[in-house]
């Protein structure tokens, strides 16, 4: 007997095999009754992450502004702006 026939017999046996009937209604109903309604955790996580991202953006912008003001070339331009106008 070759492998193909062996596999065909095994496939036929597997297809004819019926799973046992198991009553899970009680277990499912108990699980549903004890399950809590999910809170709004995702909303709070989103708010916290958004706030943190906004704080990082504000800190980077503030740092760039203070660095730009301390730059010698920008100080020179600020001092000569009055003369140019």
Please report the pLDDT score of residue 57 as a whole number: 93
79 lies in some domain: yes
Boundaries of domain holding 53: 39-85
From residue 41, alpha-carbon distances to 52, 64, 65 in Å are 16, 35, 36
43 against 51, higher pLDDT: 51
Mean pLDDT of 61-78: 73
Residues counted in the chain: 85
Inform me whether the pLDDT recorded for 15 exceeds 80.
yes
| Residue 77: alpha-carbon gap to chain centroid | 46
Token pair for residue 51?
């706030």
Is the residue at 81 inside a domain? yes
Domain count, the chain: 1
């Amino acid at each position: 007997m070759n492998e193909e026939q062996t596999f065909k017999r095994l496939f036929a046996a597997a297809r004819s095999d019926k799973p046992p009937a198991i009553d899970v209604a009680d277990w499912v109903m108990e699980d549903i009754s004890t399950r809590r309604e999910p809170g709004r955790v995702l909303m709070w996580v989103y708010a916290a992450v958004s706030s943190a991202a906004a704080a990082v953006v504000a800190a980077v912008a503030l740092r760039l502004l203070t660095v730009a003001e301390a730059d010698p070339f920008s100080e020179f331009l600020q001092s000569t702006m009055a003369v140019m106008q």
